[in-house]
Amino acid sequence: MSQIAQPVVEIRNLAKSYRRGDQVVSVLTNITFDIAAGDYVALMGPSGSGKSTLLNLIAGIDKPDSGVLRVGGIDITSLGEAELANWRSRNVGFIFQFYNLMPVLTAFENVELPLLLTDLPSRERADHVNAALSMVGLADRMEHFPSELSGGQQQRVAIARAIITDPTILVADEPTGDLDRVSAEDVLNMLGQLNRELGKTIIMVTHDPHSAANAHTVQHLDKGELRIEN
Amino acid sequence: MYYLKLILRNAMRHKLRTGLTVLGIVVAILAFGLLRTVVDAWYHGSDAASKTRLITRNSISLVFSMPLTYSSKIRQMEGVKAVSHANWFGGVYVTEKNFFPQFAVQASTYFDLYPEYLVPPGQMRDFQRDRKGALVGRKLVDAYGFKVGDQVSLRGTIFPGTWEFVVRGIYDGTEKNTDTAQFFFHWDYLNETMKRTAPRRANSVGVYVISLASADRAAEVAATVDHEFRNSLAETLTETEQAFQLGFVSMTEAIVVAIKIVSFLVIFIIMAVMANTMAMTVRERMAEYATLKALGFGPGHLTLLIFGESLAIAAFGSALGIALTFPVADKFGKAMGTLFPVFYVNSETLIMQMCAGLIVGAVAALLPCVRAANMRIVDGLRSVG
């Protein structure tokens, strides 16, 4: 475990199991590590190693059985459903493998979605969305629906949606898993740029060693346990 | 505005599915409205009844008559403003299919008790002067083409023989629910003929119509009338005009109840269809709802989207169904001829149609909303491809 001066994510003895029929299957066991503010962490491991489960716990969309999980100094395991939803809307930016854009909304409207949970007036929301879409190079595709965009472009819209609320952490679950090589490279460059230039803390689950090579830290999970490599 | 846009776009995602669901709602709401209108038409007599009129009949049955002499006794009772009398004639015009009510009425008094029948003064004068004169309602004019001056023959069934009349006037109704499918002629004409052909049936009255000074005295006057003729050869039963009309409806109560049940069954069926549509829709979109929840949207937002979509589809279908009810009811009423003398879609039916549409939309969204609200985000996200 590496010693970090200012951790934005603190994980102590985290455990998670699922019930499958009568059996209890342990997915994560005694996970302990920190993620520094501005770090770029890749979570790697074989299928079923628990990396996506760990990412879900950090993102506050699943709850651990035991252990401590603090993000930005807040123990998110103690938050109720409504508080947790509110916390996610302010602190977590999501990037999914299959983009998870709303098919009936344009690129602009998809990016605007998280801002509906803020008090920003429509005019200011539009300014933020324009800036975010320009940042990912899609200023000319604002009125396009997801079905009118390529996979890479859709993932860029998803990245714009993830950063629109200026969250504490960005979580990405196999962000290049559904993309061709060129688009994948494009997305990885963009994540790197967000980390370097905007200081965004990124936690990314990936199978791909090439994608993981972009990260500062790689955490290996195997059978629910952590193995650390730098 | 944003949510409304999202709701409407979601509703139009599967155009065929939404279109077929809307079509189902249109048919259901239309059928519901039509069936309720049939029920209303059944009750029109009681709905149109006046509170200041009583009907006195033979207590044994309407088939039995009462002596004409009761008239003067009733007129002298306290609380009675006026009295008139009538007999059901039950004649056939050309063929049995041409059914419409015919009444022999005391021409000099009857229409004073029914101000809702509007007859031009000149025509009323002509009718009063002609013993063989008849007054016909506007609906009969529309159905059979009667004109003032026409000779009309009715074949008597209760009062045998062929009866000749001359149309002297056409009456309209002051209200929408006034029955204008009736045929009135002189009771004197009937009575004089009876005196000649069947003297034992002369001077007999089918019903007395009593006009009250005040509706508050209806029960008191009815009791007084019936008390007066107790232990006579023809004991009476006096009731409000509404109760008298409801007595006819009760004879066919089973049919009315069946129609009412079917009307609600139609709504129940479309509710099941709509619920299935919404369940399928929400199941397909679980990943999207999970994404929204991940982004911080709460169960309230999902409920708004799902309820909104369901209500939008139901409201659109209901609006179309309600709009179509008017022309369809009009055609249906015409096709039924004089069977339903009064047939129109009333405001109560419209409100019931609107409520039915909203209930269908709300109930259909209920379970999908609960399911989406309680869904675990990780389970919902897993349903992606």
User: Residue B342 in 3-state DSSP?
Assistant: coil
**Is A114 within 8 Å of B377 when comparing Cβ atoms?**
no
**Is B6 within 8 Å of A94 when comparing Cβ atoms?**
no
pLDDT at A2: 47
* Closest residue in A to B377 (Cα–Cα): A61
Q: Where do the structural domains in chain A lie, given as residue ranges?
A: 38-56+91-229
Which residues does A176 contact at the CB level (< 8 Å), separation at least 6? Answer: A155, A183, A184, A187, A188, A206, A208, A211
Q: Which of A100, A105, A112 sits opposite B287 (nearest CB)?
A: A100
Q: Which helix (H) or strand (E) holds A93?
A: strand A92-95
Q: Where do the structural domains in chain B lie, given as residue ranges?
A: 2-44+253-382, 60-234
Residue entry with tokens 């059978």 = A223
CB B23 within 8 A of CB B321: no
**Is the model more confident about B339 or about A98?**
A98
Q: Which of B13, B287, B378 sits opposite A104 (nearest CB)?
A: B13
Strand order in the sheet with A7-20: A23-36, A7-20, A66-71, A74-75
Q: What is the DSSP string of B181-207?
A: --EEEEHHHHHHHHHHH-GGGTTEESE
pLDDT at B50: 83
The structure tokens listed for B166 are 């001359």
Give the C-alpha separation, A175 to B372, whole Å. 26
Question: Is pLDDT of A192 > 90?
Answer: yes
**Interface size, chain A vs chain B, as Cβ–Cβ contacts under 8 Å:** 63
**Is A61 within 8 Å of B378 when comparing Cβ atoms?**
yes
CB atoms within 10 A of CB B78: 9
Question: Is pLDDT of B165 > 90?
Answer: yes
**Is A116 within 8 Å of B2 when comparing Cβ atoms?**
yes
pLDDT at A228: 56
**Is A100 within 8 Å of B376 when comparing Cβ atoms?**
no
Output the pTM of the full model. 0.78
Q: Please write the tens of the pLDDT for every residue from A74-90.
A: 999 999 999 999 999 99
Mutate to test the interface with A, among B2, B289, B295 (most CBs of A within 10 A): B295
pLDDT at B42: 83
CB B222 within 8 A of CB B239: yes
Of the candidates A44, A181, A179, the residue with the CA atom closest to the CA atom of residue A99:
A179
**Is A85 within 8 Å of B298 when comparing Cβ atoms?**
yes
At residue B337, φ and ψ (nearest 5 deg) are: 60, -130
Q: Please write the tens of the pLDDT for every residue from B29-79.
A: 999 999 999 998 888 767 777 889 999 999 998 889 999 999 999 999 999
When mean pLDDT is compared across A138-147, B143-152, B177-186, B338-347, the lowest value belongs to B338-347
pLDDT at B310: 96
- ipTM of this predicted complex? 0.93
Q: Tell me how far apart the terminal alpha carbons of chain A are, to the nearest angstrom.
A: 10
Give A1's pLDDT tier (boundaries 50, 70, 90): very low
Taking residues B277-296, report their average pLDDT. Answer: 95
Residue entry with tokens 């969305």 = A129
Of the candidates A156, A148, A183, the residue with the CA atom closest to the CA atom of residue A172:
A156
pLDDT at B289: 96
CB B221 within 8 A of CB B77: yes
- CA pseudo-torsion sign A156, A159, A163, A168: negative
Task: Give the distance from CA A123 to its chain's centroid.
Answer: 27
All residues of chain B having their beta carbon less than 8 Å from the beta carbon of residue A59 are 294
pLDDT at B329: 93
Give the C-alpha separation, B315 to B307, whole Å. 12
Q: Which of A56, A86, A103 sits opposite B296 (nearest CB)?
A: A86
- Cα-based distances in Å from A103 to A106, A138, A147: 8, 17, 7
Of the candidates B31, B42, B34, B37, the residue with the CA atom closest to the CA atom of residue B268:
B31
The amino acid sitting at B126 is D
pLDDT at B328: 95
Radius of gyration over every alpha carbon of chain B, rounded to an integer in angstroms: 29
CB B113 within 8 A of CB B103: no
Mutate to test the interface with B, among A100, A118, A163 (most CBs of B within 10 A): A100
Give the C-alpha separation, B57 to B252, whole Å. 20
Which residues does B243 contact at the CB level (< 8 Å), separation at least 6? Answer: none
All residues of chain A having their beta carbon less than 8 Å from the beta carbon of residue B377 are 56, 61-62
Question: Is pLDDT of A5 > 70?
Answer: no
Q: Please write the tens of the pLDDT for every residue from A127-158.
A: 999 999 999 999 999 999 999 999 999 999 99
**Is A56 within 8 Å of B378 when comparing Cβ atoms?**
yes
The structure tokens listed for A170 are 């960005």
**Is A100 within 8 Å of B6 when comparing Cβ atoms?**
no
**Is B293 within 8 Å of A85 when comparing Cβ atoms?**
yes
Does the domain spanning A38-56+91-229 belong to CATH 1.10.10.10?
Answer: no
CB A43 within 8 A of CB A54: yes
- Residue B92 per-residue DSSP state: B
Strand order in the sheet with A217-222: A92-95, A169-173, A201-205, A40-44, A217-222, A225-229
Give the C-alpha separation, A201 to A215, whole Å. 11
The structure tokens listed for A52 are 């996506």
Give the C-alpha separation, B58 to B55, whole Å. 10
pLDDT at B97: 86
Of the candidates A212, A219, A102, A209, the residue with the CA atom closest to the CA atom of residue A157:
A102
At residue B380, φ and ψ (nearest 5 deg) are: -65, -40
